Amino acid sequence: MIPYRQLAGWAVFGGVMCLLPLVLPPGILRMVIFANFLAIFALSWDFISGRTGYVSFGHPFLIAIGAYSTAILSFRFDWPLIISIPSAVLITVISGLFFFVPALRIRGTYFALVTLAFMELAYQLTQVLRPDITGGTRGISGITSIVSGAVPNFYLSFSILFVAALLLWFLARTRMGTALAAVRMDEGAVTASGLSTIRLKLFAFGVSALVAGIGGAFYVHYLGSIAPRAMFDINFLFQILVAALIGGSTTIAGPIIGAFFLTFLLEYLRPFIDGPERFLIFGSVALIVYVLKPNGIYSILESGYGLALARFRRFRPEGGPAK
Amino acid sequence: MTPLLEMRSVSKQFGGLSAVTDLDIHVDEGECLGLIGPNGAGKTTAFSILMGELEPSSGSVHFRGGDITGLPTHRRVQLGIARTYQIPRPFGDMSVLDNVRVGAMPDSVMRLLIPDRATESEWNFLQTVGFTAREASMLPGQLSMGELRKLELARNLATGPRIMLLDEVFAGLTVAEIGQLTELLLQRKRDGMTYMVVSHDLKSLRPLVDRVVAISFGSAIAQGSFDAVLENPQVREAYLGQD
């Protein structure tokens, strides 16, 4: 059965987003670009952590691999972007599979800590290992842009988000999506059902790394610079996690909603609280949403839509009079 | 005749504790073997070793004569060995139908990348164990213990087993549910299914089994027909208790 309603939802989302440059000023549009990238990262994180239950605290590591690879290849070695970006994505996927190898043996808190350790290790190595290539603590600036201006960058970032979201939505609707959900619920029972959980997890890790790598590579060309302190910032990690969780983990729309909510919340808090205290506020908001609605903003919207639909059905003429 | 499934001189130690010691068990094709013994005798450990969920400290496991000791669990399931658990392990956030469909999934990434729709054979597995269409959409949390056991059985059947290891399959069931389950298992047995059944409910076990092995402190102390084993003085002392 073709999911017409969901496809229509995607079409409306795509249509509305494409019209945004007509109504939004460039300043707001730039915020939307950041929201688009955060949504890509949150989707990528959620595919591994939300779907399979392997909570990764090292996701910026994957994003940074994609970002640094294309930055180094294009800036230091003058590779054209058309080659440096796919190469960076490939490097991210390979590194991601290596990065997630510990997950084949451990899970839960230990897995989260190992991935966090990976991120910290990469942070330190980036600063001291071949600073002539990585730029050391100062990073690299002057990285070539793919397109210039708010509107072209908006369309580029949104295209990547839209394609990534559709890809993950399709995967979630396949048997693979069901199998990955089963891994989250009881890995032992999945094995006892005749499925190799190693294969399933490697697939999920690979897809997650692929999306993170694509996002990271395009993100760095949008920013035009990269520095280890910004890339491996713990706040960056929390933004990704919180976007996925308050939006609605294990859904595709949820991390996108969460990313937009968080980006605008942080930005609109800026005039009132300029410093890092903003993160306290967003942490509190995230906590409130998470405690009141563990399934996130998406579930609030979904139940609102359900109520509205029920009310509409109750009052439409062929439904008969309300009693 | 080569046994369908066999464990040869298997021992399993957990630190200083010997859960299973030099245990030999075999089950022939089409046979139903009962495993009895007091709590902590090593019955569930034996099942876990047969499934590859636990690695034996020594000894080997064979399927149709071939050594499968080092084979991972999912490969054993693909060979045709399936098991149920003392406490059923459903996928809690999935419908009854989806639970069964996980059992029917192919172990291939490419073949998993197709739209997730229920097939007729998956529905049949549910109907075989007595689920209705309404129950198929329920969540495991809404089911009784008897229904959970049926669900686990259906998921096992979906893997296409040659032999099923049933751990305390009658525990927590009503008399009526035991009757229905026994009838279902006997029906499958007539179709050629092989079983190893662990149960403390000897009354329910009796109509099902062809042969019984009694285990105590990880070792087999008697084997033979149901009545003969229960008459065995060692079994009476170890398992049933004696004045």
Give per-residue pLDDT as tens, B137-166: 999 999 998 899 999 999 999 999 999 999
Q: How many CB atoms lie within 10 A of CB B176?
A: 9
Q: How many CB atoms lie within 10 A of CB A318?
A: 5
pLDDT tier at A316, thresholds 50, 70, 90: low
Contacts of A1 in chain B (CB under 8 A): 117
What's the farthest any 2 CA atoms get from each other in chain B?
63
The angle, 0 to 180 degrees and rounded to 10, between the axes of the packed helices A253-269 and A234-248 is 120
Element (H, E) at B215: strand B211-216
Distance from CA of B236 to the nearest CA of A (A): 34
Mutate to test the interface with B, among A195, A199, A249, A250 (most CBs of B within 10 A): A195
**Is the pLDDT reported for residue A320 higher than 70?**
no
The answer to whether B109 contacts chain A (CB < 8 Å) is: yes
Please state the ipTM of this predicted complex. Answer: 0.91
In chain B, the residue whose alpha carbon lies closest to the alpha carbon of A198 is: B74
Q: B18 pairs with which residues across the strands?
A: B13
Domain-wise residue ranges, chain B: 5-90+161-240
**Is the pLDDT reported for residue B53 higher than 80?**
yes
- Indicate whether A256 belongs to any domain: no
A192 is in which domain, residue-wise? 24-233
**Is the pLDDT reported for residue B51 higher than 90?**
yes
Q: Which CATH class is domain B5-90+161-240?
A: alpha beta
**Is the pLDDT reported for residue B26 higher than 90?**
yes
If one counts the domains in chain A, the total is 1
Residue B156 CB contacts under 8 Å (≥ 6 apart), including other chains: B82, B83, B84, B103, B164
Mean per-residue pLDDT over chain A, rounded: 90
pLDDT tier at B240, thresholds 50, 70, 90: low
pLDDT tier at A323, thresholds 50, 70, 90: very low
Give per-residue pLDDT as tens, A29-62: 999 999 999 999 999 999 999 999 899 998 999 9
The answer to whether B78 contacts chain A (CB < 8 Å) is: yes
A178 and B98 Cβ atoms separated by less than 8 Å: yes
- Indicate whether A282 belongs to any domain: no
User: In terms of C-beta density within 10 A (0-12 exposed, 13-18 middle, 19 or more buried), how is residue A23 classed?
Assistant: exposed
Q: What is the rounded CA–CA span in Å between residue B57 and residue A239?
A: 47
Residues of A near B (CB-CB distance < 8 A)? 1, 171, 173-179, 181-182, 185-186, 188-197, 199, 203
Give per-residue pLDDT as tens, A107-130: 888 888 988 988 898 899 998 888
Mean of pLDDT values over A297-311 = 85
